[in-house]
Structure 1
Amino acid sequence: MNPPQLFFLFLLGLALGSFLNVVIYRLPRGLSLATPGSFCPHCGHRLRWYENLPLLSYLLQKGRCRSCGGIISWRYPLVELTSGLLILFTFERFGWPAGAIFYLFSLLLLAATFIDLEHRIIPDEITLGGLLLGLALSPWNPLVTPFRALVGALCGAGAFYLLGEFYAWLRGREGLGGGDHKLLALIGAFLGPWRLFPVVFLAAASGLGAALFLFLLGRRRLSGGSALPFGPFLALGALATLFLPRGALFFLFPTVY
């Protein structure tokens, strides 16, 4: 791709990231995604067009609402920038139409991550809706066939469901949320059954690393009752499996690749 095309893609990614922020904020709160227009979550001030420019408005307003001076969450520019970079990575690596498929997949993971971090839930609109989208797009997905997408979804949902039931039987309490196995079903629909192995391994490794880091900071005790949302780590494992060089994945998981 030439520089103008990359710049246009980046701007498109920023704009879609801005909409994704609307989804992340409103969907778990049961608010409409269409109306009203964007507003300040502190004072309800309706944002004018120049207050709602992706990334740029946050920088010009120094991270504060122009009306009440309330602090705008760092999540907004982070999601917009990440969305802009993801669209470049997916289209540069996979081209069209696979790049569009995996970009949509990445946006679903991004939304699931930030909703799970804040609310400890992953809405069915993202997991089940994304699962159906993955199955519908499987004929154009170079990593799966329609059959493998279906098997991947069933394996993702079934494996985590059984693991969660075993943990509940063993410990007497829920260990994995229902949204986790639905999210892994979504991931399986896009990546297929065999890639679920590196996804789960990388998710578990990154989750353990995060727990140890928080423990060393003194912010969390390591115990069976400690709880970290696992959705973000599944999303990280899926994106790593999608974007890591094939040679690195072959080295780490030779039986899969």
Structure 2
Amino acid sequence: MVILAAVALGLLCGSFANVLIARVPSGEGWVRGSSRCPTCRHDIAWYDNIPVLSWLVLRRRCRHCKEPISARYPLVELTVGVLFGLVAWQFGSGAVTWLLALSALLTVALTAIDLEHHRLPDALVFTLAGAAVLLLVADAALSGAWASLGRAGLGALALGGFYFVLWFVYPKGLGFGDVKLAVPIGAILGYLGWGALAVGAFLGPFVGGLLAIAAGVRAGGVRGVRLAYGPAIITAFWIAVLWGPAISSWYVEWATGWAV
């Protein structure tokens, strides 16, 4: 029941993520105002704004102008809902759980924005960073996990520094927004453990390489292809959060023969 409740809450938060995706890049206010159709700008009634269900009931079209509604909307809602459920399943309750839930909302929004606009808005990245500081300190204070908090600081420096070096060496291949995003990502992974941090760090470039290959194949060549790298960092982050310790333990055992 707790997991189902988390999924339901995640679907609602996924609907809010769609608001962020639509409004933050253009500088619109997102705290107030009802949801609007991006085509006819008509306000969307609450019964047409039920996550996933309304999209299906309306047969993927706006009730007023009949223009198609992008599949991105239910996909974002479902992704946030699934991540909320997985976080509740693996981490239970606590400050870290709330931080990961907020991370799901923000990172899904950042992924969609980066794919469409090729940028990672500071408003969302700094919100994630501020939440990471507050909630990790709160969790350390409540649980006495001060060593984990110190590891979070090292993780922020290590992952942020790694991407800073990549940006400094080849600024055309990496935006500084990716460097800023790596700092709170590294802090959260570091707090969860060295295994999670290592998996997140190594998988980022690997996923980025796969995305570059896919983009090149789709475009018929890599020349002139613009690649959003933020989704690679975020994908690696979630793999590391959910399965990082298991992956790192398997790798150490495979490489050395020592069970961890």
Common fold, TM-score beyond 0.5? Answer: yes
Instruction: Label 1:10 to 1:19 Cα distance change in 2 as closer, same or farther (>3 A).
Output: same
Q: Say what the alpha-carbon RMSD is for the aligned residues.
A: 2.3
Whether the 8 Å contact between 1:92 and 1:99 is mirrored in structure 2 is: no
- 5 Å-filtered alignment, 1:1-257, equals 3=1, 5-97=2-94, 98-139=96-137, 140=139, 145-168=148-171, 174-192=172-190, 194=194, 195-217=196-218, 219-223=219-223, 225-244=224-243, 246-252=245-251
> Deviation at 1:246?
3.0
What is the SS of the residue equivalent to 1:145? Answer: helix
SS in structure 2 of the partner of residue 28 of structure 1: coil
What SS does structure 2 have at the residue aligned with 1:244?
Answer: helix
User: Partners in 2 of 1:61 and 1:221 — Cα distance?
Assistant: 39
CA contact (8 A) 1:143 1:191 kept: no
* Counterpart contact for 1:91–1:99, Cα < 8 Å: yes
Query: For the structure 1 residues 159 and 21, does the alpha-carbon distance in structure 2 shift closer, same or farther, using more than 3 Å as the test?
Result: same
Range 132-141 or range 82-91, more displaced = 132-141
Decide which moves more: 49-58 or 197-206: 197-206
Partner Cα separation in structure 2 for residue 144 and residue 42 of structure 1: 51
Amino acid in structure 2 at the alignment position of 1:99: T
What is the one-letter code of the residue matched to 1:208? G
Q: Distance in 2 between matches of 1:121 and 1:214?
A: 17
Q: Distance in 1 between matches of 2:198 and 2:225?
A: 25
- 1:227 alignment partner AA: R
Partner secondary structure for residue 120 of structure 2: coil
Which residue of the partner structure matches residue 171 of structure 1? none
Question: Which aligned segments of 4 or more residues in structure 1 are displaced greater than 6 angstroms?
Answer: 141-144
Q: Which whole-Å CA distance do the structure 2 matches of 1:163 and 1:108 have between them?
A: 24
CA distance in 2, matches of 1:75, 1:69: 17
Structure 2 segments unaligned to the other structure (5+ residues): none
Report the CA distance between 1:248 and its aligned residue: 2.5
| Distance (Å, rounded) in 2 between the aligned partners of 1:180 and 1:240 | 18
Higher helix share: 2
Deviation at 1:100, TM superposition (A): 2.1
Greater mean deviation of Cα atoms: 242-251 or 28-37: 242-251
Task: Give the count of matched residue pairs.
Answer: 246
Q: Secondary structure at the match of 1:64?
A: coil
Moved more, 141-150 or 234-243: 141-150
> How far, CA to CA, are the matches of 1:71 and 1:184 in structure 2?
36
TM-score (normalizing by structure 2): 0.86
| Conserved? CA contact 1:138–1:144, under 8 Å | no
Seen in structure 2, the aligned counterparts of structure 1 residues 238 and 13 have a Cα distance that, compared at 3 Å, is same
Q: Note the residue ranges of structure 1 that are not aligned, 5 or more in a row.
A: 169-173
CA positional deviation for 1:159: 1.9
